[in-house]
Amino acid sequence: MAYEPMTDNYTRPVCLGNANSYKDIIDKGKKAECYITGFGMQETEFFQVQYNRHLKASKVHVVDPQLCNNLMYYQLDASYVANDAMCLENREPYAPSNRGDSGGPMVCKDEHGRFKLFGVTSWGMSGADKNAPTIYVNIIYYQEWIESITGIPLT
């Protein structure tokens, strides 16, 4: 890194997850402890929307890739889930990401109880459709590239 990242009371660096930790999260299913955060839009009364002034957080569940493709096919009549993507469930009790959340983090506790970054908000169905998952970039897909650029193994 050319310079030290700036941190304060509101910003901190996060470690990147790795393939072994990601497999553990998939194996745990809904028992995995994963969260998203963002300032995205929220519905107010009469279906008006506004951006949040305060950072929101929600526990999320990573959906099995095959189930995700099936759900997206049902919604869009096509499989739109790329190999570098992961899906997060929108059904209660999970709150979906929304407009304004793109680029936001999805972190999970790894097998050692440390939060690590596994996903980055990418896209979802209009209006946060509760029957369609939200799509996140799966950083594990880019693990080899990240390691080659940084020279730091993510194992």
Confidence of residue 68 (pLDDT cuts 50, 70, 90): confident
pLDDT higher than 80, residue 99: no
Number of domains the chain contains: 1
Neighbouring residues of 14: CB distance < 8 A, sequence distance ≥ 6? 105, 107, 115, 116, 117
Q: So what's the pLDDT on residue 129?
A: 57
21, containing H or E segment: helix 19-28
Structure pTM?
A: 0.80
Check residues 148 and 11 and name the one with the higher pLDDT: 148
Confidence of residue 61 (pLDDT cuts 50, 70, 90): confident
Give the mean pLDDT of the chain: 80
Q: How far apart are CA 132 and CA 124, in angstroms?
A: 8
Confidence of residue 23 (pLDDT cuts 50, 70, 90): confident
Residue 138: give the domain boundaries: 15-42+49-150
Here the CATH number for the domain that contains residue 146 is 2.40.10.10
What mean pLDDT do residues 3-24 have? Answer: 85
| Residue 27 within a domain | yes
